[in-house]
Chain A
C-alpha cells in the first residue's frame, strides 16, 4: 500500500504537486491574517469607551494595528510569495478543438 502510494507520488505531475503545496501555504497565511486581524481588533477595539480612544496616524489604535499593519504586511508577503515561492510550470495544450465536445460528451 505504501509502495503504491510512493509510486503515485512519483507519477504525480510536478505542477499539481507545487500547486497543492502553494494552496496549503496560502491557507496558512489566510488563517494567520484572520487570527491577527480579528484578535487584535477584538483586544483593542471592542467594548471600549470614548475616553479610551487612542489614535495612531489618525486611525483608531485598533484599526492601525489590527487592519492597516496586517494589510500592508500581507501586500508584502503576497509579493514575496509570488516572486520567491510560486513555481512556474507548463499548463499544457488544449486537448482538442473546443468547438467539438470534450471527453465527457
Chain B
C-alpha cells in the first residue's frame, strides 16, 4: 500500500489508492488557528497599557529582536508557495532570481531602520501617513499617502483571503488535490466557501483582539515553524535522492541544460527566457528596494524598541534567510530529480513532504507541519494588512478629518468596525474569486515601493525635500508602474519572451522591471520639484534633524 502510494507520487498521478494527508494537515491547521487565537488574547493584554492608538496599531513601540528580525521584511505566504514552483519549473537560475536576499537583512534594517524609528518618535507618528504629514507639515501629503496605502493593500489583502481559503479547502480530509495555486479545479465549491469563512473569522478575531502585536507574533510563530519544516525537508530530500550532486545530475537528465544554466529552463520549448541578464539585475533592485519601501515593513521599523534591537535584527535575519532560501532551492532541485513530471508545479513541496517522510516515525505530522505552514504565513500577512488598513482609516481619516476629539473608546470601536467591515468586504469580493489575482499582487508590491521608497528616504535624510517634491515623487512613481503594467496587460507593448510564463505580464521596457522605471521617475521628479519649490521653515526642519536638549526637548 505505502509502496503503491509512493509510486503514485513519483508518477505524479491522482490514484484512488493514494492515501491523502488531509487529516494530518487539517490537524496542524486547527492547531495554528487555536494558537493564533491564543496569541491574540496574549497580545491584547500586552498592548492594553498606555494609549489605545500606540498600543493597538504600534505595539507600544516594543518590538524586540526576534519579532522585528523575522517579521519586518518581505517574507509572506507567497515566499513558501510560489517560489518553490519557480525553482521546479525553471531550475537553478531561480537562485540568481532570489540571490539579492543575501543582502535583504542589512538593507532592510540598515538603510532606514534607525532614522525612521527616531523620526516616528519625534513626530509622534503612529502610521506611515502620520509620519509624512508631520515631517512635511502637509495634511494633503498625509491624506494622499493614506489613499495610496488603502488602494495597494486592498488588492494584496483580497488575494491573501483567497489563498487562505484555498489552503483550507485543499487540506480538507480526502480533498485529493495538493496544489496551492489559484487555478485549482475539480474540488467542490462549498469547501472553498467554508474555508473562506473559517479563515476570515479566525484572522479578523485574533487581529481584533491583539491588533499590531497579534499580527507580529503570529508572523513570528509561523516563521519559526517554517524554518524547522524546511530544514527537516532538506535532510529528508537529500537523503532520498542520494546527495546534491545526484539531485543536480538527475534533474538535468529529466529536463535539459536550461535547468542548470541561465537564462533558465522552459518546459514548453517556447524559448521563453526566464531570467535574461537584464532581469537578473532588475531583481537585485526589486527585492531590495521593494522591501525597504513596503509600507507594512516601514511600520514595523517605527515600532522597534531601540537601536540595539535594530542592530541585532540584521544578523538574526541573515542566519534565517541563509537557512531558508538556499535549502528551499536545493529541496526543489531534489524534487525535479525525484518527481520529474508533476502536472502542477505548485504541488512540489507538499508532494515531497508526503513522499520523503512516509517512512519516518511521526512522519505524517512532519508532513502536516510543512503543508500547514503556508497557511500560517497567509494568516499573518492578512493580519498585518488588516492592522495597516484600519490604522489608515481610523488614524488618518476618522481621527484626522472627521472626529479629532474622539475619545479612546470611540477610536477602539472605530478600529473594530473597520476590521470587521474589511473582513466582510474581502469575503464578499472573494466569494466568486476572479481568476488571476497574482498580477494584482505583483503590481501592488511594485507600485507601493515605487510610491513610498523615495519619499521615505527623503523624509529621513534630505532637509531640502518639500511637500510638493515628495508628492510629485509619489504620483510619478505610482503612475509609471501603473502605466507599464497596463501596457503589458492590455497588449499595448511589443511582444516579449522574458520573465515567468503567464498571460498577464508588465511591459519590461528595455528588459527591465517596471519598479526600476518607477524609482527613476520618482527620484528625479521628487528632487527636481523640491529644488523648484519653497523649502520648509528652518525651525521645523531643525526640530526633526538636529540634536535636542534633554531638559526641554527643543532643538539647539
Contacts and interface: CB of A to CB of B under 8 A. Distances in A.
B26 interface: no
A96 B52 CA distance: 13
A42 B262 contact: yes
A94 B51 CA distance: 12
A42 B280 CA distance: 9
B102 A33 contact: yes
Contact of A81 (B106, B263, B463): B106
Contact of A102 (B51, B115, B123, B322): B123
B102 A70 contact: yes
Which residue, A20, A42, A78, A94, has most C-beta atoms of chain B within 10 A? A78
B51 A99 contact: yes
B45 interface: no
B486 interface: no
Using C-beta atoms within 8 Å of the partner chain, give the interface range for chain B: 35 or more
A63 B92 contact: yes
A19 B408 CA distance: 35
A23 B404 contact: no
A95 B460 contact: no
A26 B107 contact: yes
Chain B, interface SS category: helix
A94 B124 CA distance: 5
B121 to A, nearest CB: 5
Interface residues of A, number: 69
A49 B99 CA distance: 23
A89 B114 contact: yes
A38 B103 contact: no
B483 interface: no
Nearest to A71: B102
A38 B284 contact: yes
Contacts of A82: 106, 311-312, 314-315
Contacts, number: 241
Contact of B547 (A12, A25, A71, A99): A12
Interface stretch (B149-157, B195-203, B239-247, B344-352): B239-247
B306 interface: yes
Interface string A89-105: 10111111111011111
A98 B130 CA distance: 11
A81 B553 CA distance: 31
B121 A95 contact: yes
A1 interface: no
Contact of A75 (B252, B318, B555): B318
A55 B246 CA distance: 11
Interface string B95-128: 1100110110111001111110110011111100
B351 to A, nearest CB: 22
Contacts of B408: 99
Given A78-B314, A102-B123, 19 more contacts: A11-B555, A13-B118, A16-B461, A27-B107, A38-B277, A45-B93, A46-B261, A50-B252, A53-B260, A58-B247, A71-B102, A74-B318, A75-B102, A78-B106, A82-B314, A88-B308, A91-B118, A103-B134, A104-B142
30 contacts: A11-B556, A13-B118, A14-B547, A19-B113, A23-B115, A37-B99, A38-B277, A38-B280, A59-B92, A60-B92, A66-B99, A75-B321, A78-B106, A81-B106, A86-B114, A86-B307, A88-B311, A91-B306, A92-B121, A94-B61, A94-B121, A95-B122, A97-B51, A98-B53, A99-B408, A101-B399, A102-B123, A102-B134, A104-B134, A104-B142
